[in-house]
């Protein structure tokens, strides 16, 4: 069986379109399937649409969260509920073309690969500034972490049971899929396709959301920022030693300690800036550790069917 997991947040308009398209694709697939829609605390009619669908089609299951927990939590809940030998995660807005599923299934059933991932080769229809920062983010991730975060990789993935079980052992609260998947290893085959714009509704990601998300990703998979803070400290220490030597020799040779209020203030500001920066980085890791230690659940279910 193939489990199809769809996180939905305010997708009342997209779900039926998505379902229709999937049914069309499924006729060409001879494998039993189940749909697992995860209503991530939607404020619109999403849950009612899901009720209707599950009454009409017994292959449709749903989970409804007590509030919005985010897409990562929604995907996790769906994957935990999945009973299939294969599972695929995809968006409700038809940005992940269902027509790729037969090909993905073929790749994974052949046994050569454990996972079929998709990546978009361009960012057509996306604001330029967003594309620019996205590129910078991938470049930065490459330098800061050991894992290979694939540029343009989508959450549209089809995996086998071995891969899925391995994924479910990752119990962390700060879930950053783009890092978790490459961390797992296994054999992934990448399929490429052109970016498709959303059919209805609008994206839930603002620029600032994405920026914070990228910081979270770096912190979740790299401790290099901490090392950078230490190195900055050492560098500044070396600079201060040479300055001290300079000042002392000037006083002995010329009887003239360096004058100037302005230079002192500049140095104080510079150093306290670096200090705050470093403490800030430390704080970010501490905050993440705090949320992990609390062991709160990743999501809470209000209703399931």
Is 109 a binding residue for ligand UDP by CB under 6 A? The answer is: no
Q: How far is the CB of 233 from ligand UDP (least distance, A)?
A: 38
Contact yes or no for 158/101 (Cβ under 8 A): yes
Placement of tokens 């209805």 in the chain: 200
Q: How far is the CB of 154 from ligand UDP (least distance, A)?
A: 8
Q: How far is the CB of 97 from ligand UDP (least distance, A)?
A: 13
Stretch that binds ligand UDP, among 91-99, 131-139, 185-193, 262-270 (CB under 6 A): 91-99
Secondary structure (3-state) at 190: strand
Is 199 a binding residue for ligand UDP by CB under 6 A? The answer is: no
Nearest CA among 295, 138, 131 for reference residue 218 = 138
Contact yes or no for 12/92 (Cβ under 8 A): no
Placement of tokens 């996180």 in the chain: 7
Counting every residue written for the chain, the total comes to 305
The residue from 119, 204, 224, 288 that contacts ligand UDP (CB under 6 A) is: 204
Q: How far is the CB of 14 from Mg ion (least distance, A)?
A: 9
Q: How far is the CB of 55 from ligand UDP (least distance, A)?
A: 22
The residue from 12, 34, 91, 114 that contacts ligand UDP (CB under 6 A) is: 91
Residues that bind Mg ion (CB under 5 A): 91, 93, 95
Q: How far is the CB of 196 from Mg ion (least distance, A)?
A: 9
Is 68 a binding residue for ligand UDP by CB under 6 A? The answer is: yes
Is 78 a binding residue for ligand UDP by CB under 6 A? The answer is: no
Q: How far is the CB of 46 from ligand UDP (least distance, A)?
A: 8
Is 200 a binding residue for ligand UDP by CB under 6 A? The answer is: no
Interaction partner, residue 275 (ligand UDP, Mg ion, none; CB < 5-8 Å by kind): none
Which H or E element spans position 34? strand 33-39
Nearest-10 crossing angle of helices 71-81, 161-168:
120
Secondary structure (3-state) at 119: strand
Closer residue to Mg ion, CB minimum distance, 90 or 107? 90
Residues 226, 229, 230, 236, Cα dihedral to 10°: 180
d(CA 60, CA 71): 19
Pull the structure tokens for residue 14.
């997209």
Is 120 a binding residue for ligand UDP by CB under 6 A? The answer is: no
Pull the structure tokens for residue 248.
């002392």
Phi, psi angle pair for 115, to nearest 5°: -150, 140
The residue from 132, 205, 212, 285 that contacts ligand UDP (CB under 6 A) is: 205
Return the residues of window 8-47 that contact ligand UDP according to CB under 6 A: 8-9, 11, 40
Residues 85, 30, 23, 115, Cα dihedral to 10°: 40
Note the residues at the interface with ligand UDP (CB under 6 A): 7-9, 11, 40, 68, 70-71, 74, 91-93, 95, 198, 203-205
């Amino acid at each position: 069986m193939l489990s199809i997991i769809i996180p939905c947040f305010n997708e009342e308009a997209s779900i039926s379109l998505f379902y229709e398209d999937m049914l069309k694709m499924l006729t060409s697939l001879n494998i039993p399937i189940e749909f697992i829609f995860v209503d991530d605390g939607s404020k619109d009619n999403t849950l009612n649409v899901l009720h209707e669908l599950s009454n009409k089609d017994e292959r449709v299951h749903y989970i409804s969260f007590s509030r919005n927990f985010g897409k990562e939590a929604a995907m996790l809940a769906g994957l935990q509920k999945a009973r299939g030998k294969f599972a695929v995660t995809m968006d409700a807005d038809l940005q992940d073309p269902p027509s790729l599923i037969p090909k993905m299934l073929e790749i994974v059933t052949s046994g050569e690969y454990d996972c079929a991932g998709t990546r978009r080769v361009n960012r057509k229809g996306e604001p330029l500034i967003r594309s620019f920062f996205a590129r910078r983010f991938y470049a930065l991730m490459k330098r800061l972490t050991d894992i290979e975060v694939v540029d343009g990789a989508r959450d549209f993935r089809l995996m086998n049971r071995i891969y899925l079980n391995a994924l479910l052992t990752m119990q962390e609260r700060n879930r950053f899929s783009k890092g978790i998947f490459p961390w797992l290893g296994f054999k992934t085959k990448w399929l490429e396709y052109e970016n498709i714009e959303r059919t209805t509704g609008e994206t839930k990601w603002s620029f600032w959301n994405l920026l914070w998300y990228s910081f979270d990703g770096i912190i979740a998979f790299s401790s290099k920022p901490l090392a950078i803070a230490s190195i900055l400290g050492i560098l500044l220490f070396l600079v201060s030693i040479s300055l001290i030597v300079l000042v002392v020799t000037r006083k002995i040779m010329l009887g003239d300690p360096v004058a100037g209020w302005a230079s002192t203030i500049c140095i104080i500001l510079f150093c306290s800036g670096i200090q705050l920066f470093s403490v800030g980085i430390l704080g970010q890791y501490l905050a993440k550790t705090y949320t992990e230690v609390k062991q709160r659940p990743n999501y809470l279910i209000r209703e399931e069917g």
